[in-house]
Structure formats: C-alpha cells, structure tokens
Amino acid sequence: MRAMFGLIRKDLALARRNAGDTLAAVAFFLLACGLFPFGVGPDPNVLARIAPGVVWVAALLAALLPLDRLLGADYDDGTLDQLLVSGLHPAAIAAAKAATHWLATALPLLLAAPAGAIMLNLPIGAIPALVAALALGMGVLSLLGTAGAALTLGARRGGVLLPLLVLPLAIPALIFGAAAVEAATLGLPVRPHLAMLAAMLAAALPLAPLAAGAALRSAAE
C-alpha cells in the first residue's frame, strides 16, 4: 500500500512538472463547450436544453486526451518494467495510474465544469449536481480508461484505438450523468442518478484494475 501511494505521489509530481497536459485537457473542454453556441445558435433556451449532454460529452472527450501517455510513457522508457519488478501487484500499479488520472485530469475538469456550464446557460442551481455527477462519472472513466490504455500498450496507433475502446463503455455513465443534471434543472430528485453512477464506480473499482493489471503484464512480455 505504501508503494502504491509512492507511485501516485511520483506520477502527480510528474503531472505537476508537465502541467501543460492538464491545461490542454481543460482548454479543450472549455473550447468544445464554447463552440456549441456558435454551431446551434445563441438561443438561450436551446442552449440550456442541450447543456447537460454537451458538458458531459466535452468532459469525456477532454479526459481521454492524456490517457494514451498515462501508461504509454512508462512503457516506452522502461519504467513499466521497473514497476513490474518492484513487487507491486500489477493491479495496484493500474489502480495507482487510474487514481493519478482522476487527480491530475478529472479534478481540474471538475473545477472547469461550472465555467463550461455557464457558457451554455445551464441554470446555476444545476451546477452542484453536474459537479457531483462528473466526479463519479470521471472516476468510472479513469478506471475504464486505464484498462483501455493498458490493453492498447504496444499496439500500433494505440492512441486512435483507445477512444474506440473506451467511449462505448462510458455510455452508461454518460446517460446517467447527463440525466442527473437534467433532473436538477427540472427540480426532480438527483440522487437516484448519482446512486447509479456510484454503483458503476463500485463495479469498476475492483474489476478495471484487475483487467488492466493482466494487460500490463502481457504488454511487458
């Protein structure tokens, strides 16, 4: 457990040193949200209607950006071999990477989400529900994304394969996440949707690192 936190600490230090990656994801997210009013027109009612889905999709896509380097950099420079002989269980390595992705990419996106939502005229009252839903949904995406990144290690054009693998699996989180925000705008209870997201997170939490760990081991062979 100590070694796993050591790994998270190292990767967060690296993420802080290479802060451009995080900034790129946040800038991509804000830009994607900002493009929609140009595309669909400035009608505030239309924007407010599509805001929950747009913010969610933009956040999902932005969170995918750093995924292929999350493990790819370690695979290329030999760090992955060192981690596999460190005595850490491969699933623990994967769990640490997922935690790093959540902290270094998902968390900044959560902080930027209110800004994106306001650009799309989402009612202020729905923003707490949006952030809560994104916090859970991004956890699911971090875990699925780590598994996807581990599976595509060493594959040619793995960066292209990765979204094709991960995005379909993220659809349930998108449905319930956007529904939670929509329920908040309509004054309906949000909690059932958040509970569904939490259930997905609870399922992915043990399963995704195990799958990713097995993929890491076979990538090293």
Binding site for another protein (CB under 8 A): 2-3, 5-7, 9-10, 13-14, 17-18, 77-79, 81-89, 217, 220-221
* Minimum CB–partner distance for residue 75 and another protein (Å): 10
Instruction: Tell the burial category of 55 from Cβ atoms under 10 Å away from its Cβ (0-12, 13-18, 19+).
Output: buried
Instruction: Tell the burial category of 220 from Cβ atoms under 10 Å away from its Cβ (0-12, 13-18, 19+).
Output: middle
* Minimum CB–partner distance for residue 151 and another protein (Å): 18
Which one, 65 or 83, has the nearer CB to another protein? 83
Which one, 9 or 191, has the nearer CB to another protein? 9
Each residue of 118-144: b (16+ CB within 10 Å) or e?
ebbbbeeebbebbebbbbbbbbbbbbb
Which one, 153 or 190, has the nearer CB to another protein? 153
Which one, 21 or 207, has the nearer CB to another protein? 21
**Residue where the block lists tokens 């600490």:** 9
* Minimum CB–partner distance for residue 4 and another protein (Å): 8
Q: Are 60 and 67 in contact (CB under 8 A)?
A: no
* Minimum CB–partner distance for residue 6 and another protein (Å): 3
Cβ neighbours for 87, distance < 8 A, ≥ 6 positions apart = 3
* Minimum CB–partner distance for residue 175 and another protein (Å): 38
Which one, 14 or 40, has the nearer CB to another protein? 14
**Residue where the block lists tokens 């839903």:** 133
